[in-house]
Chain A
Amino acid sequence: MENKQSSSPASFIDSTIVPGDVVLDLSSMTNQTIKLGGGLRQDCDVISAMKAGTLRFSKPNKYWIESSQKRYVPCVEDTVLGIVVDSKADNFLIDIKGPTLAFLPVLAFEGGTRRNIPKFELGTLLYLRVVKANFGMNPELSCTDASGKAAEFGPLKDGYMFETSTGLSRKLLSSPTCPVLEALGKKLSFEIAVGLNGRVWVNAASPDTVVVVANAIMNSESLSTAQQIIMVEHLLKNIQ
Chain B
Amino acid sequence: MEFVSPEGLRLDGRRPLEMRQLRAEIGTVAKANGSAVLEMGNTKVIAAVYGPREVQNRSQIINDQALVRCEYSMANFSTGDRMRKPKGDRRSTEISLVIRQTMEACILTHLMPRSQIDIFVQVLQADGGTRSACINAATLALADAGIPMRDIVTSCSAGYLNSTPLLDLNYIEDSAGGPDVTVGILPKLDKVTLLQMDAKLPVDIFENVMGLAIEGCKAVVNYIREDHQFKH
Q: Are A51 and B148 in contact (CB under 8 A)?
A: yes
Interface stretch of the complex, out of A64-72, A116-124, A144-152, A174-182: A64-72
Q: Mark B141-154, 1 if CB is under 8 A from A, else 0.
A: 00111111111100
Rounded to whole angstroms, the CA-CA distance of A1 and B145 in the bound complex is: 28
Distance of B231 from chain A, by nearest CB (Å): 5
**Contact A69 B33, CB 8 Å, known A18-B224, A20-B151, A52-B144:** yes
Q: Which residue of B lies closest to A85 (CB)?
A: B54
Q: Are A18 and B225 in contact (CB under 8 A)?
A: yes
Provide a sorted-by-A list of 6 A–B residue pairs whose CB atoms are within 8 angstroms. A53-B146, A53-B231, A71-B52, A98-B52, A100-B54, A167-B232
Rounded to whole angstroms, the CA-CA distance of A67 and B114 in the bound complex is: 24
Q: Are A52 and B112 in contact (CB under 8 A)?
A: no
B222 CB within 8 Å of chain A: yes
Rounded to whole angstroms, the CA-CA distance of A165 and B144 in the bound complex is: 11
B198 CB within 8 Å of chain A: no
Rounded to whole angstroms, the CA-CA distance of A136 and B109 in the bound complex is: 12
Q: Which residue of A lies closest to B116 (CB)?
A: A99
B189 CB within 8 Å of chain A: yes
Rounded to whole angstroms, the CA-CA distance of A170 and B144 in the bound complex is: 18
B229 CB within 8 Å of chain A: yes
**Contact A136 B145, CB 8 Å, known A19-B152, A20-B152, A71-B33:** no
Q: Are B33 and A99 in contact (CB under 8 A)?
A: no
**Of residues 185 to 228 in A, which have CB atoms within 8 Å of B's CB atoms?**
221-222
Main secondary structure of the interface of A (DSSP, over half): loop
Main secondary structure of the interface of B (DSSP, over half): loop
**Contact A67 B230, CB 8 Å, known A20-B150, A22-B188, A99-B53:** yes
The residues of A that contact B147 with a CB separation of less than 8 Å are 51
Q: Are B114 and A69 in contact (CB under 8 A)?
A: no
Rounded to whole angstroms, the CA-CA distance of A51 and B111 in the bound complex is: 13
Q: Are B108 and A50 in contact (CB under 8 A)?
A: yes
Rounded to whole angstroms, the CA-CA distance of A20 and B228 in the bound complex is: 15
B115 CB within 8 Å of chain A: yes
Q: Which residue of A lies closest to B66 (CB)?
A: A99
A16 CB within 8 Å of chain B: yes
B113 CB within 8 Å of chain A: yes
Q: Are A19 and B114 in contact (CB under 8 A)?
A: no
Q: Are B115 and A52 in contact (CB under 8 A)?
A: no
Distance of A227 from chain B, by nearest CB (Å): 14
The residues of A that contact B115 with a CB separation of less than 8 Å are 99-100
Rounded to whole angstroms, the CA-CA distance of A186 and B146 in the bound complex is: 35
Partner of A101, one of B33, B51, B54: B54
Q: Are B230 and A71 in contact (CB under 8 A)?
A: no
Distance of B26 from chain A, by nearest CB (Å): 9
Q: Are A20 and B187 in contact (CB under 8 A)?
A: yes
Rounded to whole angstroms, the CA-CA distance of A165 and B188 in the bound complex is: 29
B218 CB within 8 Å of chain A: yes
Distance of A218 from chain B, by nearest CB (Å): 11
Q: Mark B33-51, 1 if CB is under 8 A from A, else 0.
A: 1100000000000000001
Distance of A178 from chain B, by nearest CB (Å): 14
Q: Are B112 and A99 in contact (CB under 8 A)?
A: yes
Q: Are A71 and B222 in contact (CB under 8 A)?
A: no
Partner of B189, one of A20, A52, A98, A99: A20
